[in-house]
């Protein structure tokens, strides 16, 4: 549910991922929100139901505003990619519905990233998942795949709202729904599964909030219509951890903005890394001045879960992070460790 996502975002709103809104407020650069509103194209956003949803969100304005602030590192890149494809800019807001603009988000169905791709279908959309790299959690790669998928759905159905519905329920399922309802084509008249019905209305409601914040009593975070982050190209596999240390960039900042990365000591399969612009410039200068040979791949061992084991204990034993353990074994935060289950652990011990 969107509110559950919003609560998680609010809890993390003060982390290093969030860039300085004060600096943006002082800037004369136009707002990204003005840019998005100017590029909105979808009709019939304002229905009684979507207005009611927008008002419901506005009653938790603190959560909505925290979520939107969380978008700052990624939003300009998403808007630019959406606009380049000549798609309605409402679609740049879809990650608000999918993940609350959290690239670390993972659902109980194991969907991951800003756009919530599931493992079973990620390869279809060109998102590779390997030991070293999960493209579903890469903000740039997943955005490219999601917009391509939405564009394909639009070409098939000829309607952007139907494309949004198909993104949630699937092309085949939506085609069957349309056939069963004897030619009903309006998304607002179509009887959809509850999850898909809500999915479409949430995007419409979020779009209304962005378009008319004063009407709904929310304050949009000050995000400039300019990139807050930059992509540092990786032309070959390197030891990114060593390069970052030399450039004065922390591993934790890299992981916050690039959750698709596996072992930072060997960036095989990764074409670029996202960082705030100042840190990106330092890292790029460092990479140009020195070579950082990738470290040897860590050994993969199998840990058989014993009664009483916890992720913290296992991570401490192998000197790895809990987040890495979850990522290597596709574990959600709610996953239960059952004795006898085997966990893969990448370790240099």
In a domain, 223, yes or no: no
At residue 189 the predicted structure's pLDDT band, cuts being 50, 70 and 90, is very high
pLDDT class for 18, splitting at 50, 70, 90? very low
Same domain, 34 and 10: yes
Could you give the percent of the chain with pLDDT greater than 90? 51
For the segment 146-160, what is each residue's pLDDT rounded down to a tens digit? 999 999 999 999 999
Residue 221 included in any domain: no
| pLDDT for residue 32 | 98
H helices of the chain, in order, are 2-11, 21-26, 32-38, 48-58, 61-70, 72-84, 94-98, 119-122, 139-157, 160-169, 171-180, 194-211, 213-216, 240-247, 251-257, 277-289, 311-318, 322-329
- The band of 36, judged by pLDDT with boundaries at 50, 70 and 90, is very high
pLDDT digits (tens, 9 = 90+) for 255-298: 889 888 877 877 776 778 899 999 999 999 988 888 787 665 56
| Closest listed residue to residue 300, CA positions, set 342, 241, 243 | 342
Residues 233, 340, single domain; the answer is no
Chain segment 203-241, per-residue pLDDT in tens: 999 999 999 999 999 999 999 999 999 999 887 778 888
End residue of a domain, out of 268, 289, 310: 289
User: Mean of the per-residue pLDDT values for the chain?
Assistant: 86
Same domain, 124 and 267: no
Flag whether pLDDT at 73 surpasses 90.
Answer: yes
98 is catalytic: yes
Q: Which of 289, 315, 338 is the last residue of a domain?
A: 289
Residue 267 lies in a domain: yes
Number of domains in the chain: 3
User: Do 329 and 209 share a structural domain?
Assistant: no
Which domain does 244 fall in, by range?
229-289
Range from 25-29, 117-121, 213-217, 287-291 that averages highest in pLDDT: 213-217
Do 270 and 162 share a domain, yes or no?
no
Please answer whether residues 175 and 184 qualify as being in contact, where contact means their C-beta atoms are separated by less than 8 angstroms.
no
Do residues 288 and 307 lie in contact, with contact meaning Cβ atoms separated by under 8 Å?
no
Do 253 and 310 belong to one domain?
Answer: no
The whole-angstrom separation of Cα 102 and Cα 98 is 9
Catalytic residue among 65, 72, 98, 279: 98
- Asked if residue 281 and residue 308 are part of one domain, the reply reads no
Are residues 60 and 207 part of one domain?
A: yes
| Residue 294 belongs to a domain | no
Task: Return the top range by mean pLDDT from 48-62, 126-140, 237-251.
Answer: 48-62
The reply to whether 178 and 210 lie within a common domain is yes
Considering the domain architecture, whether residues 44 and 146 belong to the same structural domain is answered as: yes
Express as a percent the part of the chain with pLDDT over 70.
89
């Amino acid at each position: 549910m969107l509110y559950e996502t919003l609560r998680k975002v609010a809890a993390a709103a003060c982390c290093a991922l969030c860039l300085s809104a004060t600096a943006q407020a002082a800037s004369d650069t136009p707002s990204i929100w003005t840019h998005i509103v100017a590029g909105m194209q979808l009709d019939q956003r304002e229905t009684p139901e979507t207005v009611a949803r927008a008002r419901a969100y506005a009653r938790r304005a603190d959560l909505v505003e925290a979520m939107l602030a969380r978008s700052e590192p990624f939003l300009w890149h998403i808007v630019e990619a959406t606009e380049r494809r000549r798609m309605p800019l409402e679609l740049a807001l879809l990650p608000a519905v999918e993940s609350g603009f959290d690239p670390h988000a993972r659902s109980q169905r194991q969907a991951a990233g800003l756009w919530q791709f599931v493992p079973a279908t990620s390869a279809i959309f060109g998102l590779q998942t390997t030991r070293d790299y999960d493209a579903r959690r890469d903000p740039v790669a997943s955005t490219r795949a999601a917009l391509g998928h939405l564009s394909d759905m639009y070409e098939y159905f000829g309607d952007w709202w139907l494309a949004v519905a198909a993104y949630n329920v699937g092309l085949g399922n939506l085609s069957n729904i349309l056939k069963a309802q004897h030619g009903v084509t309006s998304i607002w008249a179509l009887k959809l599964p509850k999850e898909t019905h809500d999915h479409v209305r949430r995007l419409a409601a979020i779009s209304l909030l962005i378009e008319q914040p004063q009407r709904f009593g929310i304050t949009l975070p000050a995000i400039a219509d300019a990139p807050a982050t930059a992509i540092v190209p990786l032309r070959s596999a390197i030891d990114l951890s060593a390069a970052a240390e030399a450039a004065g960039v922390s591993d934790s900042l890299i992981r916050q903005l690039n959750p698709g990365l596996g072992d930072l000591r060997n960036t095989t399969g990764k074409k670029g890394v996202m960082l705030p612009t100042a840190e990106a410039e330092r890292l790029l200068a460092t990479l140009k001045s020195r070579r950082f040979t990738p470290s040897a791949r860590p050994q993969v061992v199998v840990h058989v879960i014993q009664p009483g084991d916890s992720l913290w204990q296992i991570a401490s034993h192998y000197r790895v992070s809990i987040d890495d353990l979850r990522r290597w074994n596709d574990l959600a935060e709610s996953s239960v460790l059952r004795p006898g289950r085997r966990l893969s652990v990448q370790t240099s011990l």
